[in-house]
C-alpha cells in the first residue's frame, strides 16, 4: 500500500517485527513521556501527515506514527505484528477483531487508533502466560471450540472480557455475552462449553 511505503522508515513490517521482537525493538517504554503525548491530543491531525501516538498494548508501550483514519485493528495487525485479532466484516458485525480495551471487549475495527490512546489494550497475544496458554485459551482447546479457527481469537477475547466482569455467568449471560461474535463454521455448541470450562479453570466454578 502506498502509505505504508511512505512510512517505511518508522513502521516495522510484520516479518521484521518478529525478527526483532526478542530485542524489544518495536516497543519503547515511554511512560514518563505520556503526559507530553497527551497534551498533543488537541492538535488537528492532518490526513496525510502521520502523527505520533502512544498505545499501551499487552502491558507494553508502543509509539507509532498513524494516519487519523487508521483503525486500531489495522495498526495491531499491519504495524505491530499482532495478528491474532482478525479482519472480518470491518463493520462491527462479526466480532473477529475483538480486543479488550480497559478490560471490556470492543471491536478493534470500529475503533480509531488515535481514539485508543490512554487506554489499556489487551489482545489474544496478551493472554499467554509465558509459553503457556491462558485459561480461556486452554478451555477452547480442551473443548474443541473451533473448526477453521478464524473467529476463535475474537471469541476468546469476548469470553475473557465477559469473565472479567462476571466470573460466574449463567447460561443466559454466556449466550448474551458471546452474542457479538459470529462463527461461520457454527461451532457455537463447543464455544459455549468452552466458556463454562474457562469458568472452572479460572476458579470461578
Ligand X SMILES: Cc1cc2nc3c(=O)[nH]c(=O)nc-3n(C[C@H](O)[C@H](O)[C@H](O)COP(=O)(O)OP(=O)(O)OC[C@H]3O[C@@H](n4cnc5c(N)ncnc54)[C@H](O)[C@@H]3O)c2cc1C
Q: Tell which residue, 31, 81, 74, has the closest CA to residue 56.
A: 31
Could you tell me which stretch among 27-35, 55-63, 109-117, 131-139 binds other proteins (CB under 8 A)?
109-117
Q: If DSSP codes are grouped into helix, strand and coil, which group holds residue 183? A: coil
Q: Is 68 in the site for ligand X (CB under 6 A)?
A: no
Neighbours of 180 (CB within 10 A): 18
Question: One symbol per residue from 85 to 114: x for binding ligand X (CB under 6 A), - otherwise; what is it?
Answer: -------xx---------------------
Q: If DSSP codes are grouped into helix, strand and coil, which group holds residue 70? A: coil
In degrees, to the nearest 5, what angle opens at C-alpha 135 toward C-alphas 193 and 161? 80
Q: Looking at 3, 40, 93, 173, which residue binds ligand FES (CB under 6 A)?
A: 93
CA 177 – CA 202 distance, rounded (Å):
17
Out of other proteins, ligand FES, ligand X, none, what residue 149 binds, judged by CB under 5 to 8 A for its kind, is: ligand FES
The binding site for ligand FES (CB under 6 A) comprises 87-90, 92-97, 107, 109, 146-152, 183-185, 187
Amino acid at each position: 500500500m502506498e502509505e505504508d511505503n511512505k512510512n517505511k522508515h518508522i513502521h516495522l513490517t510484520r516479518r521484521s517485527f518478529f525478527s526483532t521482537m526478542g530485542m524489544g525493538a518495536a516497543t519503547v517504554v515511554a511512560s514518563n513521556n505520556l503526559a507530553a503525548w497527551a497534551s498533543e491530543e488537541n492538535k488537528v491531525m492532518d490526513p496525510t501527515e502521520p502523527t505520533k501516538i502512544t498505545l499501551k498494548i499487552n502491558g507494553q508501550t508502543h509509539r507509532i506514527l498513524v494516519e487519523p483514519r487508521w483503525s486500531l485493528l489495522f495498526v495491531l495487525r499491519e504495524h505491530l505484528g499482532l495478528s491474532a485479532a482478525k479482519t472480518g466484516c470491518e463493520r462491527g458485525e462479526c466480532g473477529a477483531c475483538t480486543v479488550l480495551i480497559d478490560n471490556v471487549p470492543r471491536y478493534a475495527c470500529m475503533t480509531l487508533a488515535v481514539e485508543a490512546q490512554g487506554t489499556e489494550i489487551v489482545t489474544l497475544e496478551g493472554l499467554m502466560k509465558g509459553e503457556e496458554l491462558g485459561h480461556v485459551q486452554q478451555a477452547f482447546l480442551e473443548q474443541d471450540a473451533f473448526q477453521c479457527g478464524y473467529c476463535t481469537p475474537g471469541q476468546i477475547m469476548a469470553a475473557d472480557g465477559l469473565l472479567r466482569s462476571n466470573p460466574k455467568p449463567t447460561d443466559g449471560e454466556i449466550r448474551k455475552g458471546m452474542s457479538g461474535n459470529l462463527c461461520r463454521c457454527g461451532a457455537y455448541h463447543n464455544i459455549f462449553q468452552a466458556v463454562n470450562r474457562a469458568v472452572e479453570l479460572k476458579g470461578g466454578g
